[in-house]
Amino acid sequence: MRKYLPFLLCLGLLSQQEEATAQNFTMKNLNFPVQHGDVSAIDIDRDGDMDLLIMGEISGSERFVQLFTNDGAGNFTKTASPFLAGAFASIDWGDVDNDGRLDMLQSGFGTTGPFTALFKSNATGVFTQVANSGIQQVNPGTGFADLNNDGYTDIYAFGNANNTANDASRAKIYFNNKAGGFTESAQFNDYKFVDPEISAVDFDKDGDLDLFVNGFEIVSESRFSKMFVNTNGTFMVRDLGLIQKGFGGAVWGDYDADGDLDLLLNGDGGANGEPSSDIYRLYKNTAGAFTEATTFSTYRQIAVGDGGRFADWDNDGDLDVIVTGWDDTAKRQATAIFLNNAGAFTAMANNDKLPGVSESSIEVADIDGDSDLDLMLTGFSGNNFNGANSAYNDKVSVIVVNPTTMVNTAPTMPATLQATMGTGGGVTLSWSAATDATTSANSLSYNIFLQDATGKMYIHPMADTTTGKLMVQKMGNVQLSTSWIIKDLPQGRYRYGVQAIDNSFMGSPFMKTSFTITNGVLTGIADQKLDLNMEVYPNPAPGRINVKLEKGKKYELKVSTLDGRTVKTLSAMNSVQLTLAPGIYILQVNDNKGGVENRKIVVQ
């Protein structure tokens, strides 16, 4: 496995991953007992597989953080990192300095109090904490998002406040000042939150990211589950008509394939909320209006953050629902998967064989590279279970390996890439919808990247732009939109690309194009014309594929599998013929002058 983290020190491969099978579930115990934390799946060392970063508490005073690096087959090594230990935590990733490398923002409650820490990554993958970042020291409810569409990553830090007279903690946004620092916004100063969980979500599909807050608000002394609607970086609160919750979590996804993002909401009741604290409620979004679709009970997360998930667990193309928490009906911790059938949900037959967790944070990602989503569980897991080896009577970090035999394939690439200059100087990037063998075209999300001629990355896709492989497995950075506006771009030449992402969080290759801005005029965009003048035919092909190249130039060709493994490299001055075994590949052609083109090729 290639390594890009020189500071990492391997602490030993977990012995056999302590694998155990309950019914048809295989569990991998990471031997890292935490609760009230956060778990993040991220390809931190850029080797094509999903690593894990986990924060949390072991006891009331002990806080821990641990990085686990993946060997590509789902076997993990405990690895040292510079990140901070804390409970009631948030972890997020984004490119805060536009250098094309992912940085990290974390917050938590440490041994001496709350903290917020920003880490930047350099060209060799070393993460270094930014001293005196100016971000308030709070937890949780922190993260990255471009909240004013200027191509620079901003930070939100809502965090825990208190009701003392001298408490300065307020919900805050720190807008990126484009010079390496941040400008604090005072527009949220009227709010003081406790245990806030924040979602950056374009719920109304108007081309910007709104902020949904689920928590408790001190000033109004009430539960708070409301949307702050974004207009050019200015936010106004909107009551969506939801039953107010707090000390829980919110996740977004298009479960009904109608093209907008629905909401799975949980948390404690009380105050102005409902009496019950053990209900996950699914709301259907219809053009920004929310109505209750169904409920999942009785599950109380007993934590703030990610206790539930939307995920295509059975690889049939639609979003299933995963919930965790104390099941007051069964009187035990529980994890339950509800399978989606045309918008109706049925509990999976062997849910009682899953390790149950409360005080939980969970994640989904393809850990072992077999094209399905596995489940990472953290929290307290009691011993009231029917299944062998699914009871721990302790805090846990455990992976449930997905047993499905259905194999997911990536969507097609988007097409008809366009870039147009508006009257206000903003550039609108747009494309036509992709398709997928199982996921509805309405539910496909999209990742875009935008890069200038110097390599400055205005929009980071959190994916490999050559292979399309995601570095995080979630919705794309523009969610369900097929257009996005970037404001105030300097003049110069730009490359941009778009990939589609399905409900199993598998990405297509990127379709790419370029354009130039000169004196406020945008030129050079050519529909479907990429960086190189080349033809690939036939495609699909029975064994041999012809690549027609412009004569008189030297090209470097690389053929990779969809999981990033290189199978062929060669140099060429003109047309070449590739002979490959049957399969699906990514062909990358580089003209050594900055022009790069990727094509998905199929050999039958």
Q: Are 199 and 209 in contact (CB under 8 A)?
A: no
pLDDT for res 272: 83
Amino acid at 441: A
Residue 3 domain flag:
no
Amino acid at 448: I
Q: What is the mean pLDDT of residues 21-30?
A: 76
Token pair belonging to 194: 């406790």
* Statement: residue 65 has pLDDT above 80: yes
Q: Say how many domains are in the chain.
A: 4
Q: Are 72 and 51 in contact (CB under 8 A)?
A: no
Element containing residue 522 per DSSP (H, E): strand 521-523
Residue-wise pLDDT for 297-319, tens only, equals: 999 999 999 999 999 999 999 99
SS3 labels along 525-542: CCCCCCCCCEEEECCCEC
* Statement: residue 602 has pLDDT above 70: yes
* Statement: residue 433 has pLDDT above 90: yes
Residue-wise pLDDT for 471-485, tens only, equals: 999 999 999 999 999
Of 481, 500, 523, the residue that ends a domain is 523
* Statement: residue 269 has pLDDT above 90: yes
303 and 434, same domain (yes or no):
no
pLDDT for res 6: 43
- Rounded to an integer, what is the distance from CA 172 to the centroid of its chain? 22
Report in angstroms the alpha-carbon separations of 17 from 70, 348, 382, 397, 589.
12, 26, 20, 12, 40
Number of neighbouring beta carbons within 10 Å of residue 328: 15
The CATH number assigned to the domain holding 574 equals: 2.60.40
* Statement: residue 388 has pLDDT above 70: no
231 and 258, same domain (yes or no):
no
Residue 14 domain flag:
no
Q: What is the mean pLDDT of residues 227-256?
A: 97
Of 378, 407, 436, the residue that ends a domain is 407
Residue 12 domain flag:
no
Residue-wise pLDDT for 94-148, tens only, equals: 999 999 999 999 999 998 999 999 999 988 889 999 999 999 999 999 999 999 9
Query: Percentage of the chain surpassing pLDDT 70?
Result: 91
The CATH number assigned to the domain holding 519 equals: 2.60.40.10
Number of neighbouring beta carbons within 10 Å of residue 60: 8
Q: Are 95 and 143 in contact (CB under 8 A)?
A: no
| Residue 56: closest CA among 32, 33, 84, 35 | 35
508 and 557, same domain (yes or no):
no
Q: How far apart are CA 336 and CA 309, in angstroms?
A: 11
393: confidence class by pLDDT, cuts 50, 70, 90: confident
439 and 549, same domain (yes or no):
no
425 and 297, same domain (yes or no):
no
- 3-state SS of the chain: helix, strand, coil percent to 5? 0, 50, 50
* Statement: residue 352 has pLDDT above 90: no
106 and 201, same domain (yes or no):
yes
91 and 155, same domain (yes or no):
yes
pLDDT for res 387: 46
Q: How far apart are CA 504 and CA 517, in angstroms?
A: 37
* Statement: residue 389 has pLDDT above 80: no
Residue 529 domain flag:
no
Q: What is the mean pLDDT of residues 221-242?
A: 97
Residue-wise pLDDT for 175-229, tens only, equals: 999 999 999 999 999 999 999 999 999 999 999 999 999 999 999 999 999 999 9
Q: Which residue has the higher pLDDT, 164 or 383?
A: 383
Q: Give the three-class secondary structure for 160.
A: coil
Within 348-456, strands assigned E span 358-365, 374-381, 394-401, 415-421, 427-432, 445-452
Residue 26 domain flag:
no
Q: 110-124, 376-390, 541-555, 560-574: which has the minimum mean pLDDT? A: 376-390
Residue 528 domain flag:
no
For residues 70-94, one letter each, b for 16 or more C-beta atoms within 10 angstroms of the residue's C-beta and e for the rest, the string is bebebbbbbbebbbbbbbbbbbbbb
Q: 50-59, 186-195, 283-292, 527-536: which has the minimum mean pLDDT? A: 527-536
Question: Omega into 540 within 30° of 0, i.e. cis?
Answer: yes
Q: Which residue has the higher pLDDT, 214 or 25?
A: 214
pLDDT for res 529: 39
Of 351, 381, 407, the residue that ends a domain is 407
For residue 419, give its domain range: 415-523
* Statement: residue 7 has pLDDT above 90: no
Q: Are 465 and 507 in contact (CB under 8 A)?
A: no
* Statement: residue 522 has pLDDT above 80: yes
Q: What is the mean pLDDT of residues 158-179?
A: 82
Q: 225-229, 414-418, 465-469, 537-541: which has the minimum mean pLDDT? A: 537-541
419 and 402, same domain (yes or no):
no
Give the sheet arrangement for strand 445-452, strand by strand: 457-459, 445-452, 492-501, 511-518, 521-523
Residue 450 bridge partners (DSSP): 459, 496
Report in angstroms the alpha-carbon separations of 46 from 3, 26, 51, 246, 471.
8, 26, 10, 36, 8
265 and 357, same domain (yes or no):
yes
Within 130-278, strands assigned E span 142-145, 154-157, 172-176, 182-185, 193-201, 210-217, 222-231, 234-238, 246-253, 262-268
69 and 202, same domain (yes or no):
yes
The CATH number assigned to the domain holding 220 equals: 2.130.10.130
What value does the mean pLDDT of the chain take?
90
Residue 11 domain flag:
no
501 and 434, same domain (yes or no):
yes
511 and 588, same domain (yes or no):
no
Residue 372 domain flag:
yes
Number of neighbouring beta carbons within 10 Å of residue 168: 8
Q: Which residue has the tokens 């945008």?
A: 522
Token pair belonging to 245: 């919750």
Residue-wise pLDDT for 438-456, tens only, equals: 999 999 999 999 999 898 9
Q: 8-22, 32-46, 120-134, 508-522: which has the minimum mean pLDDT? A: 8-22
Q: Give the three-class secondary structure for 101.
A: coil
Dihedral, CA of residue 89, residue 243, residue 155 and residue 377, to nearest 10: 30
